[in-house]
């Protein structure tokens, strides 16, 4: 790594540490020629994801847009920003793990719905109302029934586990 001050061709690493939960490495460097110290960050370069919208248009994946959607859905709920960040990071990792350069917006929306269903029911319904574009009260009630059924299944599964133990 070249020194950013004097352009000397080889700097010395004096300290390294993982940051961003192991997603990056922070390195403190020193130039042996001019003694200038500076910091560099090393991150894994991932391929740029392209999101294919429902109308067929393509756009670059934007983590900030995903984050903003979560914050909007979780507004005035007990969901913390740490939980939101974790959910977004998990979704991002899932998207990169699938190994495809293009991903449908529907797939991203489904991942968001899965996470919100776990985090908070109100946030889930808020997001679902926009994502699923409820046309009337019946479709909204249908989604609420699905949530109730899922909760009942979780409760009965938990009871079965207690009986087995």
Contact criterion met (CB below 8 Å) for 73 and 131: no
**Chain-centre distance of CA 126, in angstroms?**
18
| pLDDT value of residue 165 | 55
Strand partners, 26: 17, 41
Kindly report, residue by residue over 17-63, the tens digit of the pLDDT.
887 667 788 999 999 999 999 998 887 777 789 999 989 999 999 99
Q: Where are the domains of the chain?
A: 12-43, 50-127, 134-165
DSSP sequence for 106-144: HHHHHHHHHHHHHH-HHHHHHHHHHHTT--SHHHHHHHH
| pLDDT value of residue 164 | 60
Q: How is residue 106 written in tokens?
A: 């529907």
Kindly report, residue by residue over 98-126, the tens digit of the pLDDT.
888 999 999 999 999 889 988 998 898 88
Work out the pLDDT band at 151, boundaries 50, 70, 90. Answer: low
| pLDDT value of residue 42 | 87
Q: How is residue 97 written in tokens?
A: 């793990």
Element (H or E) spanning 75, and its range?
Answer: none
Alpha carbons 40 and 81: distance in angstroms, whole number: 27
Alpha carbons 150 and 138: distance in angstroms, whole number: 18
Alpha carbons 147 and 125: distance in angstroms, whole number: 9
Nearest alpha-carbon partner for 127 in 74, 67, 63, 49:
74
Work out the pLDDT band at 160, boundaries 50, 70, 90. Answer: low
Contact criterion met (CB below 8 Å) for 120 and 147: no
């Amino acid at each position: 790594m070249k020194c950013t001050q004097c352009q000397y061709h080889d700097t010395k690493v004096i300290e390294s540490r993982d940051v961003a939960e192991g997603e990056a490495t922070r390195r403190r460097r020193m130039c042996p020629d001019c003694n200038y110290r500076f910091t560099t960050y090393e991150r894994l370069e991932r391929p740029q994801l392209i999101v294919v919208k429902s109308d067929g248009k393509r756009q670059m994946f934007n983590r900030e847009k995903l984050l903003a959607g979560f914050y909007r859905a979780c507004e005035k709920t007990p969901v913390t920003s740490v939980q939101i960040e974790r959910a977004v990071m998990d979704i991002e990792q899932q998207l990169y793990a699938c190994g495809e350069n293009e991903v449908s917006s529907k797939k991203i929306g489904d991942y968001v719905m899965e996470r919100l269903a776990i985090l908070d029911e109100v946030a889930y319904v808020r997001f679902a109302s926009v994502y699923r574009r409820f046309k009337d009260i019946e479709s909204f009630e249908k989604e609420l029934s699905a949530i109730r059924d899922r909760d009942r299944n979780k409760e009965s599964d938990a009871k079965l586990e207690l009986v087995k133990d």
